[in-house]
Chain A
């Protein structure tokens, strides 16, 4: 489903290279964990996948279902089925959460040539998805993410993911700032979306999240490259011994 080939990318503003020859393949149905120390390029990778223009790809390619997405803007990528759950979801005053959800769902449907949702259908879908994430309708009346706690923001991201039903989910440090109860709710939300035709990339610093979202593959990112790939036992190994050994070994 996703094939990243020899990707090199830098910060557009100052030319600092962050991603240095990254290769990664994620198949449909797979949950891939990307782990790595601070500064290894984890969040940058998620932003580049989503199409943020603060980064420039200088070499290599990103293929999604066999086609390059490098020329697509973030909205086109999202409509094609890519979803990034942000590490730090934006607070946007003045945009009501419900309005945002409706516009997003309908814009994606429009881009795919589907009919817009009726208001009753939309409300029903939101209520269904929100309930299992313990999100109240009261919270959804507030401006988007404004005044939400850290946990509420992460749950709101998963709500969006459920409603938009993407094909490729990228979760950027979704566990950061969550207590164990919130972590379980979020993980249940992600797990409920696991399916043979959907792939998920879980970017995390800690192994903890992977106890709840059990990955099929684990990739270690260091200095902008995948330096080691394994199964879920690799995550435990990292937890037990730290990143240093594996990174040194790869070097």
Chain B
């Protein structure tokens, strides 16, 4: 046994442990799953939530920031959410239960809860160890989600929209999405809720088989009193192409973890994040990317706008394996700070064990360009409008890379709304 001076559990930690005791008999899963859930809670009980002493949580001291957790509220009223683009096929979770399950040719879909009961291969409640708070909380409490497979060679024109919606309380969902060889798909992954206190976690397991092509858009629009802990675990096989775009548009305390392993030669990852962080909120994007074979490519661009008293974090770790020669990885984190009280912490980490690679990273933190502002105002554009145009331009550059006009328009509408409220 470890000998360590254990801190007393916080109110939040105690609540998690106690709620598990009350809920576990109603949580889906076979005997193995139940054991796994129990171990996850035990890990939280023994280690507590991670503090700044845990490197991966250094800028997001979860133990301090998560001061209390609400109880699961199975009867909370959940508002419907219009699809981001009209043509999307919807798969909707409300308060962690399946509420709508679309049907698309080339896609098989089922419930995670059923899979956990039936011991379906490839569906399990994995986590990343003792400090993986997101993975552990989710493993302990997850109620449902979708298990979706895009079948080999299927080119699916209409986007699939996954919605995880809540009306407050605790909601834990997990989606397992597999894109079989050569399949093509756009997934819109939405997380939203009302302004009641909430703790939501979501884990997504995304597998791209050989030559799969996926555009994955996560839009996080959680409520003003919500903690959202998201985690994506991605693997990419040979020749797979993934554009992973994450927009964080609200929420009180947000952490988005992305663990991606590029496992096949010729695979290409395009990672883009737009964070609009305002008021008294905290938003953390933590990427851990492994280039594990030769000849793979990735670009990572994170654009954040931070205002009010908000705090933003980006941790970008790229590991290039000893054998992963000819890796090309380019990472940039650009931040626009709009107020003196706002802050942003950025930590790029490159661990390169191969000797023939091109890897670069850069980070900037700036204010609105004074010369640009003057130029726009000199054309009669009021200061507020001019600032809005410049802020929007800063993030729109990234949004407009998405090769889908409807999607770009929908995201820009949300950016406009944020600017109207915070600009």
**A interface list, Cβ under 8 A from B:** 50-53, 73-75, 77-79, 83-84, 86, 89-90, 92-95, 99-100, 103-104, 107-108, 111, 143, 160, 164
User: Nearest CB to that of B392 among chain A residues?
Assistant: A94
Check B394 against A90 for contact (C-beta < 8 Å): no
A-B contact count (CB 8 A): 75
Please determine whether B393 and A93 come into contact, CB atoms closer than 8 angstroms.
yes
Chain A residues closer than 8 Å to B30, beta-carbon distance: none
Q: With A and B bound together, what is the CA distance between A149 and B400 in angstroms?
A: 24
Q: How far apart are the CA atoms of A92 and B375 in the complex, in Å?
A: 9
- Contacting residues, chain A, for B380 (C-beta < 8 A): 75, 78-79, 104, 107-108, 111, 164
Mask for B359-380, Cβ within 8 A of A = 1, else 0? 0000000000001101111111
The 8 Å CB contact of B377, one of A78, A89, A94, is A78
How many interface residues does B have (CB within 8 Å)?
23
The smallest C-beta distance from B304 to any residue of chain A, in angstroms, reads 15
Cα distance, A104 to B377, chains bound together (Å): 9
For residue A78, which residues in chain B have a CB less than 8 angstroms away from its CB? Answer: 377-381
Option from B376, B378, B385, B390 in Cβ contact (under 8 Å) with A84: B378
CA distance A143 to B379 in the complex (A): 16
Q: Are B381 and A103 in contact (CB under 8 A)?
A: yes
Whose C-beta in chain A lies nearest to the C-beta of B397? A94
**A95 with B393: CB separation less than 8 A:** yes
Docked Cα-Cα span, A215 to B382, in Å, equals 33
Q: How far is the CA of A103 from the CA of B375 in the complex (A)?
A: 13
* A-contacting residues, B241-267, CB 8 Å: none
Give 27 pairs: A residue, B residue, CB < 8 Å, sorted on A: A50-B374, A52-B374, A52-B378, A73-B377, A74-B377, A74-B378, A75-B380, A77-B378, A78-B380, A83-B378, A86-B375, A90-B371, A92-B372, A92-B376, A93-B397, A94-B394, A94-B397, A100-B376, A100-B389, A103-B389, A104-B380, A107-B380, A107-B385, A108-B380, A111-B380, A143-B393, A164-B379
Chain A neighbourhood of B395, CB < 8 A: 94
| A75 x B396 contact (CB < 8 A) | no
Q: How far is the CB of B221 from chain A (nearest CB, A)?
A: 22
Q: Residue of A at shortest CB range from B388?
A: A103
Say whether B383 faces chain A, with CB atoms less than 8 Å apart.
Answer: yes
B390 touches A95 (CB 8 A): yes
Name the residue on B nearest A163 (C-beta). B379
- Do A89 and B375 form a contact, CB below 8 Å, given A75-B383, A75-B386, A100-B389? yes
* A164 cross-chain contacts in B, Cβ below 8 A: 379-380
* A99 CA to B416 CA, complexed, in Å: 14
Residue of B nearest to A105 (CB): B380
Residues of B within 8 A of A107 (CB): 380-382, 385
Docked Cα-Cα span, A107 to B392, in Å, equals: 17
Q: Would you list the 9 A-B pairs with minimal beta carbon distance, nearest first?
A: A94-B393, A78-B380, A74-B377, A108-B380, A90-B375, A104-B379, A75-B377, A94-B397, A95-B393
Closest to A112 in B: B380
Write the B167-178 contact mask toward A (1 if CB under 8 angstroms, else 0).
Answer: 000000000000
A104: chain B residues at CB < 8 Å are 376, 379-381
- In whole angstroms, what is the CA distance A89 to B379 when docked? 12
Which residues of the partner chain B approach A89 to less than 8 Å between Cβ atoms? Answer: 375
A86 to B377 CA separation, bound complex (whole angstroms): 13
- Chain B min CB distance to A114 (Å): 12
CA distance A79 to B378 in the complex (A): 9
Q: Specify which chain B residues have a CB less than 8 angstroms from the CB of A83 in the assembled complex.
A: 378
A111 proximity list for chain B (CB < 8 A): 380, 382
Q: Which residues of A contact B400 (CB under 8 A)?
A: 94
Residues in B with CB closer than 8 Å to A93 are 393, 397
Contact with A along B392-417 (1 / 0, CB 8 A): 11111100100000000000000000
Contacts of A86 in B (CB 8 A): 375, 378
Pick from B379, B394, B395, B396 the residue with the most CB of A within 10 Å: B379
Give the docked Cα–Cα distance between A95 and B393 (Å).
5
Taking the closest CB of chain A, its distance from the CB of B351, in whole angstroms, is: 32
**B374 contacts which chain A residues (CB < 8 A)?**
50, 52-53, 74
A104 to B372, CA, bound (A): 14
Task: Tell me, in angstroms, the Cα distance from A78 to B382 when the chains sit together.
Answer: 10
Within the complex, what minimum Cβ distance (angstroms) separates B381 from chain A? 5
B378 touches A50 (CB 8 A): yes
A residues near B389, Cβ cutoff 8 Å: 95, 99-100, 103
Q: Which residues of A contact B383 (CB under 8 A)?
A: 73, 75
Residues of B within 8 A of A52 (CB): 374, 378
Distance in Å from the Cβ of A242 to the closest Cβ of chain B? Answer: 33
**Complex Cα gap A99–B394 (Å):** 15
Of the listed residues B375, B378, B386, the one surrounded by the most CB atoms of chain A closer than 10 A to its CB is B378
Complex: how many Å from CA A201 to CA B383? 26
Residues from chain B with a CB closer than 8 A to the CB of A160 are: 379
Cβ contact within 8 Å between B396 and A94: yes
**Sample of 12 further A-B pairs with CB below 8 A, known A73-B383, A78-B379:** A75-B377, A75-B386, A86-B375, A90-B371, A90-B375, A93-B393, A94-B394, A94-B400, A103-B381, A111-B382, A143-B393, A160-B379
Inside 8 A of A74's CB, which chain B residues have their CB?
A: 374, 377-378
- Complex Cα–Cα for A93 and B395 (A): 10
Instruction: Report whether A90 and B381 are in contact in the complex, using a CB–CB cutoff of 8 Å.
Output: no
Query: B392 — which chain A residues lie within 8 A by C-beta?
Result: 94
CB distance from B42 to the nearest CB of A (A): 49
Contacts of B390 in A (CB 8 A): 92, 95
